[in-house]
Amino acid sequence: MTPQSPSVQRPVIPEAKLLEVRSLFQPDENATAFLEVDLDGSLKFHKSSLILTDRRLLACQDGQKNWQIWDLQPDSRLLLNDHAGVGSLELVSHGERQGVWRFTLGLQASATRMVAQLERQMAQVDGEGRALQTVLTEAVCPVCQAPLEEGADECTRCGREDLAPPSTWTLLKLWRFGRPYRNQLLLGFALTLTMMNVDGFNGIVVIGWVVESQRSTKFS
């Protein structure tokens, strides 16, 4: 059992909880996410712990010794919902709900991370439900955390599309849209330069040029 890999910079399971669940793990099973929800089925404050591994999902209410355990299936999903200030997390497999847990919305971000982690794991499972072998110590993408292919410097999964510069055609369409308002835009740009104290004299010259261009446009 390897609940925490040396390559992971933060512990997956809190140390106090790890002592309790260590015996539940199978050989070479890795914990990948941990979530502690704070409501029970009656919406009363009562904590429950959820542990996601590369093979299973484990859950147990505080004060109980028996853990509920579900083997992950190729179609296993965690569904996140919220209503009237209460969030819910559902484990669904084979089109049926396997379990549901509720929490206050302060835990929404943590629940979202667990949902995303399971989605990443399912993306690395073949059609027969067997986990594709990956080495936890290999390089991962800093954006989506997916393992990088051998010898690759960039992630092929996320593609880094967010870093691509805008196309020239996009800029031309933007200029076409703003053309009827070019005088106002130029005036605003000139005032911005002046307020930034780039150069007081140059700012006055620019404003004078904009005002003169407006007059020319009006009387032409």
Look at residue 148 and tell me if it is in a domain.
no
Q: Is the pTM of this model over 0.85?
A: no
Look at residue 177 and tell me if it is in a domain.
yes
For residue 183, give both structure tokens.
Answer: 């005088």
Q: pLDDT value at position 147?
A: 60
Which of helix, strand or coil describes residue 38? strand
Where residue 72 sits, what CATH number does that domain have?
Answer: 2.30.29
Query: Tens digit of pLDDT for each residue in 97-129?
Result: 999 999 999 999 999 999 999 999 998 865 555
Q: pLDDT value at position 46?
A: 95
Q: pLDDT value at position 134?
A: 42
Both 96 and 200 in one domain: the answer is: no
Last residue of a domain, one of 86, 113, 133: 133
For residue 59, give both structure tokens.
Answer: 């859950």
- For residue 185, which amino acid is it? L
For residue 133, give both structure tokens.
Answer: 């072998």
Q: Rounded mean pLDDT of 56-75?
A: 94
Distances (CA, A) of 76 to 28, 41, 44, 99, 120: 21, 22, 28, 12, 12
Concatenate the DSSP letters of all residues of 62-93 into one string: TT--PPEEEE--TT-EEEEEEETTEEEEEEEE
Q: Is 76 exposed, middle or buried (0-12, 13-18, 19+ CB in 10 A)?
A: buried
Q: Rounded mean pLDDT of 197-207?
A: 51
Look at residue 157 and tell me if it is in a domain.
no
Q: Which domain holds residue 53?
A: 15-133
Q: pLDDT value at position 155?
A: 67
The yes-or-no verdict on residue 187 having pLDDT over 70 is: yes
Both 115 and 209 in one domain: the answer is: no
Q: pLDDT value at position 12?
A: 86
Q: pLDDT value at position 184?
A: 74
